[in-house]
Structure 1
Amino acid sequence: MTETELPEAQSRAIAQAVREALARRRISRQALADEARISISTLEKALSGRRPFTLATTIRLEEALGQRLREAAERAAPTLAAPRHAPEELGSYSRESAAWLEGRYLTLRPSFGAAGALFAYRTEIAWDAEAARLVFREAERLDAPFAQTGHVSVPNQSGTIYLVTNWQGQYRIAMLGRPTIQGEMYGVLTTLHAGRGSQLTPAASPIALIPERSAPSVAYGRITPDLPDYAACRRQLGRVCEDSYALFFTCPS
């Protein structure tokens, strides 16, 4: 089976067709996942839009449901021309005005699980013509199930760039200053940190996005102080505070 990811518009249409099939047949998502021989996590993420359907997953679902999901997606394809500007709530930007943000970035933040270590992964920003907005996708994360996807907000007043994930009302936001002349973006990440058991705690950390063309040659994953990449990555991440791209206020004593 190929792992080719389907286009976002087609993936959304397939998700709708699967939800309708579940409701019509009165079967659970777990039962469908078992019948299709896929994990419930894969099905949930694809249905919620956190991850696109792959061709392999779609074929297995078609076999389990006994219907052609891709045909439903083709029928649902829009006939009107796609809008040229992002929605007002994202800044009403056009692709031309925000094209400089598109590309692949080495992303750095402190490791949440190892004191003193850094966490490196890739963030890809691209234009979604169907939805008329920039979208982002994280990859090469050690904790792959927690990789984020979402949309990009570029308001024209503050100059701040927002990478926003909204999963069932649960938000995760990276707030970044406008790129430097080299294209780097620095700012603060607000997210939830997994604690003991199922406990989730609000957390914030510095974050840096460095264009891959000018980024240090780094192996993605956890970067500890004993590795040769650590010093260069630590300098990049240190710019968040040293150059006042973000402010961190401590709790009152």
Structure 2
Amino acid sequence: MNELSVEGSNSVALQVREELARRRLSRQWLADEAKISLSTLEKALAGSRPFTFSTVVRIEDALGTSLRSRSENGVRMLAPESMGAYARAAVQWLEGTYLTLRPSFSEAGAVFAYLTSVDWDDDKGHLVFSEASRTDSEYEQKGFVSFPNISGAIYLVTISEGQYRMALLNRPSGGGLSGILLTLAAGEGAQLTPAAVPISLTSTRGNTDAAVGVIRDGHECYEEYRACVDRITQRCYARFPA
């Protein structure tokens, strides 16, 4: 459902009218800045048709303020347009804890395993992620989740002191999330080297007892974990051209 409830739409309409009056701005100006038709704006403000989520996001950007409704318990229900303007109801399936697998940077052929949790941040109004159970806990990442409608790709993004790290994921028919991790790996000495590797996230479905750390050949989970990583390239879930 892309439309706000009657109560939510009325709340937005009231806030928009107040903002226009306070700033002495015209409705035509707002329609032009938000790139919506004046007719659409007029009908929504008059209550004859509800606001859509996409229209509200455009108006927020034009006015530079948040108009998004909150549920009764105070939770923001719509992410910023910069993250894809997704509604919580549309992404609840993504919330949970995932077993995360990628090739080890320290040992050739080994798989590095840890947990990644995806949750809705009630105050910020968007999905966030955090890593746990890493044997190199000082490098555990956390950040926000971008989910743009235009591509359907899922981005787990960390921004820390000007440094970026990102997992770019899709949802193959085989289930789970698969894609590419773009990060920095330890090089010679204290040097950090740009690295791109396949990464797989599989829901733990509440069972967080999976083996983590560097999983080497001979470990009881090695074949299973290695297969999860290898099928990303074998089935073209992500591409690494030569």
2:142 aligned residue:
149
Task: Quote the Cα distance in structure 1 between the aligned partners of 2:155 and 2:220.
Answer: 31
Provide runs of 4+ in structure 1 moved above 6 Å: 214-217
**Structure 1 portions without partners, runs of 5+:** 1-80
Determine whether 1:242 maps to 2:230: no
1:93 aligned residue:
86
Number of matched residues?
A: 170
1:216/1:233 contact within 8 Å kept: no
1:216/1:232 contact within 8 Å kept: no
TM-score normalized by the length of structure 1: 0.63
Give the greater-gyration-radius structure (CA): 2
Amino acid at match of 1:171: Y
1:203 aligned residue:
195
SS in 2 for 1:213: coil
TM-score normalized by the length of structure 2: 0.66
Task: Quote the Cα distance in structure 1 between the aligned partners of 2:80 and 2:205.
Answer: 30
1:159 aligned residue:
152
1:188 aligned residue:
180
**Structure 2 portions without partners, runs of 5+:** 1-73
Task: Quote the Cα distance in structure 2 between the aligned partners of 1:166 and 1:222.
Answer: 26
Where do 1:65-84 residues align within 5 Å? 83-84=76-77
Where do 1:17-166 residues align within 5 Å? 83-166=76-159
Amino acid at match of 1:137: S
1:122/1:141 contact within 8 Å kept: yes
Determine whether 1:173 maps to 2:173: no
- What is the aligned counterpart of 1:218 among 176, 187, 210? 210
Task: Quote the Cα distance in structure 2 between the aligned partners of 1:110 and 1:129.
Answer: 34
Shift of 1:145: 0.2
Amino acid at match of 1:88: E
Task: Quote the Cα distance in structure 2 between the aligned partners of 1:146 and 1:195.
Answer: 15
1:186/1:239 contact within 8 Å kept: no
Percentage of pairs with the same residue: 48
Task: Quote the Cα distance in structure 2 between the aligned partners of 1:124 and 1:82.
Answer: 19
Task: Quote the Cα distance in structure 1 between the aligned partners of 2:100 and 2:120.
Answer: 19
- What is the aligned counterpart of 1:228 among 214, 217, 220? 220
SS in 1 for 2:91: helix
2:32 aligned residue:
none
Shift of 1:87: 0.9
Amino acid at match of 1:209: L
Amino acid at match of 1:85: L
